[in-house]
Amino acid sequence: MPHVAQPESIVVQLNALAGGLFLLSAFGMVATRQVQGCMRFFILQSVFLASSAVLLGLELRSWHLIAVGVINLVNKAILIPWLFKKTVSEEVYTKREISQVLNIPISLLVALGLTVGAYYLASPMLKVGAGLPALANLPIGLATLLLGAYTLTVRREAVPQLLGILSMENGAFFASLAIAPELHLFIELVIAFDLLVAVFVIAVLTRAIQRRIGTTEVGSLAALKEESVR
């Protein structure tokens, strides 16, 4: 580390705040009932990710992190929503409730449990990394990773499931701000590109499903089991 930040520094505190709100938007994605709401929480989450990167870039005097923040902002808050709008707009931008496996209060409690679990998992790593300026990002990122996986599991709609995956990657990146701030910028760029490809491919698949089956409630697809063979 080139520079160890003071714990009281206001930038670090603001970064922690961005972290708290980042985690909260992951909860929002679990709690919201509409596809569009899910999308908005994802955009919010990406904005907090970008702001955390920029704040840490300021703190560590690292242009690299600021660039990471800008890449994330452009990619996730602008390009990906735009791509969604282009490809599956009727799925995202009509106000429709998402069907899901568990009801929302129970989902929220499970999500809380996952968050506590993430902190528990991260606590030995926190000891290793003591002194890193943005260590709070690590457990928050891990928690968001788990929450994204959970969103993916309980939602039965195509778009929220994809948003769950994107949210997981957001979580991983959020953690990476703390643990791997020197990761090669080239890698970050290519991964950003990869996310766009992922959204595109899944959106094409979603459209194919919608044309073929008439719904994007992928949770109701259950033809493939051992019993049902024609």
Partner 1 sequence: MGIKIAYNLAQVVVVMLFAPLVAGVINRLKEMVQSKRGPSIFQPYFDIWKLFHKDEVISEESSWIFRFTPYLVFVTPIFVTLLIPVLTSYPLFFAFMGDMLGGGFVLALGGFFATLAAVDTGNPYGPMGASRTRLVGFLAEPVFMIVFFTVSFVAGSTIPYIVQQKWVHPIANFFEPTHILVMLAFFMLILAEGGRIPVDNPSGHFELVMIDESKGLEYSGPGAALMKWGGQMKLFVLICIFLNVLVTPWGLASGVGVGELLLAVPLVLLKIFIFVLALVTVESSLAKLRLFRISEFLGAAFVISVAAMITWLFAV
Partner 2 sequence: MIVIAILVLPLLAAGLCAIPTIGRRVAAQITMATFIILFALSIRVALRVIALGTYVAAPGWIEVDAFGALILLLVTAVGVMACLYSLGYMARTTHDKSLLFHYYANLNLFIFSMLAVPVVVVPSITWLAVEFTTLLSVLLVGFENSREALEAAWKYAILTLMGAAIALFGFLVLFWAMRQAGSDDYTWAGLVSVSSHMSPVLMRMAFLSILVGFGAKVGFVPLHTWLPDAHSQAPTPVCALLSGVETTAVLYVILRLMPIAHNSLGASAERWALVFGLLSVGVAAFLLLQVHDYKRLFAYSTVEHMGIIMTAVGLGGAAAHYGAMYQILSHALTKSLCFFAAGSVLMITGTRNIASVKGLMRASPLAGSALLLGGLAIAGAPPFAVFLGEFSILRAGINQGHYFAIGLLAVFLSVAFFGILLHVNRMVLGRTDPTVELTPRIPWTCSLTLFVAAVPVIIFGLYVPNTLHQLLIRAAAIIGG
Contact positions toward partner 2, by CB under 8 A? 121, 124-125, 127-129, 141-142, 145, 148-149, 152, 158, 161-162, 164-165, 168-169, 171-172, 175-176, 179-180, 182-184, 187, 190-191, 194, 197-198, 201-202, 204-205, 208-209, 212-213, 218, 221-224, 226-227, 229-230
- From the list partner 2, partner 1, none, pick the one residue 180 interacts with, judged by a Cβ distance below 5 to 8 Å according to partner type: partner 2
Contact 62, 56 (CB under 8 A): yes
Asked whether the beta carbons of 163 and 39 are under 8 A apart, the reply is: yes
Residues forming contacts to partner 1 in the complex (CB under 8 A) are: 8-10, 12-14, 16-17, 19-21, 23-24, 27, 31, 104-105, 108-109, 111-112, 115-116, 119, 122-123, 126, 130, 135-136, 139-140
Least distance to partner 2, CB of residue 150, Å? 11
**d(C-alpha 73, C-alpha 178), whole Å:** 18
The distance of closest approach from Cβ of residue 88 to partner 1 in the complex, given in angstroms and rounded to an integer, is 27
Give residue for tokens 């996310």. Answer: 195
Do 185 and 153 form a contact (C-beta atoms < 8 A)?
Answer: no
Amino acid at 125: M
End-to-end Cα separation, the chain, in angstroms: 61
Quote the least distance from Cβ 118 to partner 2, whole Å.
11
Q: How far apart are CA 53 and CA 77, in angstroms?
A: 14
CB of 119: closest distance to partner 1 in angstroms? Answer: 5
